[in-house]
Structure 1
Amino acid sequence: MSVKTIEELFVHELSDIYSAEKQLTKALPRLARAADHPALAEGFTNHLAETQGQIERIDQIVEILGIRLKRIKCAAMEGLIEEGKEVIDSIEAGPLRDAALIGGAQKVEHYEIAAYGTLAALAKQLGYDQALPLLLETLEEEKATDIKLTKLAEQGGNQRAAREAKAA
């Protein structure tokens, strides 16, 4: 990665999150199938549609700014998705797997929150006034998804896993 200007950093970071979102669209259906609790499966399915909208926003930013994204693969998202595969392969379907899936999904959301927060700060610094609202909209969606995942965990996901462990 050879980045020499703040503009190049913005393009690199936008390219990275674009790759991350694309990878996530492939992983979410698998996570939905692996979830035992219907609300968690529905959450993954709903987030897929939201993620596709976020990709469309990145496309809008590219068009507005007249930039070209770099062809890179987001290694961070690749690792997070691999962790999710390991959870699915190593934990039997049920409340414990759901608790692990929620934790993994929150890691993804926290990564995305950091990425979009950084992009929004860069866009503000660069005066990309048309791109900034699009980035902030996605940032708020990612924060909202994180809150939903926390509520799923607190409203029974982790308790069911704990009860199952005591019963075993």
Structure 2
Amino acid sequence: MSDDKTREIFVTGLRNAHAMENQALSIMKPQVKRIENYPEMAAMLQQHINETQGQIDRIEEILTSLAEDYSTLKDLALSLTGSLAALGHSVAGDEILKNSMANFAFENFEIAAYKSLITIAELGGYAGLVSPLQMSLDQEVAMAAWLEENLRPTTIKFANLKEAGQTAKV
């Protein structure tokens, strides 16, 4: 594979990752605003929102170092789909469970994206750009692990609230 093709793949992947992280924000921000009965979830989502902004900043720094820019069109398109997904879950009677499952799936998608970007960076001779990507990957792995560990307790709390006749709303 030529250096030009590898660079093209890398830049496209970075633009996609930038849009993906904006999509993540458009999913998490409405969720965290609606959470009432799950303070641990709200705190973790807020922490990850802050991390996600840092991930976006790192991607922008990498793109700038390559004399490239992110794709506003991709960002807008994925942000819109993220907002629609968040809205769709908000009408579900088990919104907190739907959000937990969707967030876990999305985190694993992000993990795969960063692993792929790191591989392309290494193949393309961009070893100096691996560290910020690895930092983002580590944050995604930590969030996915937290969501996985907390799916059972969140489900139990939801079921207990519902059984007690209390609002099980997020």
TM-score (norm 2): 0.82
1:130 Cα offset (Å): 1.5
Mean alpha-carbon deviation: is it higher for 99-108 or for 59-68?
Answer: 59-68
Q: Provide closer, same or farther for how the CA distance between residues 122 and 108 of structure 1 changes in structure 2, counting only shifts above 3 A.
A: same
**Residue identity matched to 1:29:** K
Alignment of 1:24-35 (within 5 A): 24-35=24-35
**Which SS does the other structure have where 1:130 is aligned?**
helix
* Aligned residues between the structures: 160
1:162 Cα offset (Å): 3.5
> Which protein, 1 or 2, shows the higher relative CO under an 8 Å CA cutoff with sep ≥ 6?
2
In the alignment, the residues of structure 2 paired with residue 81 and residue 114 of structure 1 have an alpha-carbon distance, to the nearest angstrom, of 22
Is 1:118 paired with 2:119?
A: no
In the alignment, the residues of structure 2 paired with residue 29 and residue 113 of structure 1 have an alpha-carbon distance, to the nearest angstrom, of 20
**Which SS does the other structure have where 1:131 is aligned?**
helix
Alignment of 1:10-159 (within 5 A): 10-35=10-35, 36-73=37-74, 79=81, 81-91=83-93, 96-154=94-152, 156-159=153-156
Mean alpha-carbon deviation: is it higher for 36-45 or for 67-76?
Answer: 67-76
Q: Residue by residue, what CA displacement relative to the aligned partner does 1:13-51 show, whole Å, maximum 9, x if unpaired?
A: 111110121232233221102223111111111111101
Q: Provide closer, same or farther for how the CA distance between residues 99 and 160 of structure 1 changes in structure 2, counting only shifts above 3 A.
A: same
Q: Provide closer, same or farther for how the CA distance between residues 152 and 143 of structure 1 changes in structure 2, counting only shifts above 3 A.
A: same
Q: 2:158 aligns with which of 156, 161, 166?
A: 161
- Structure 1 gaps of 5+ residues are none
- Structure 2 gaps of 5+ residues are 166-170
**Residue identity matched to 2:48:** H
TM-score (norm 1): 0.82
**Residue identity matched to 2:31:** L
Q: Provide closer, same or farther for how the CA distance between residues 86 and 78 of structure 1 changes in structure 2, counting only shifts above 3 A.
A: same
1:128 Cα offset (Å): 0.4
Identity of aligned residues (%): 24
In the alignment, the residues of structure 2 paired with residue 105 and residue 78 of structure 1 have an alpha-carbon distance, to the nearest angstrom, of 16
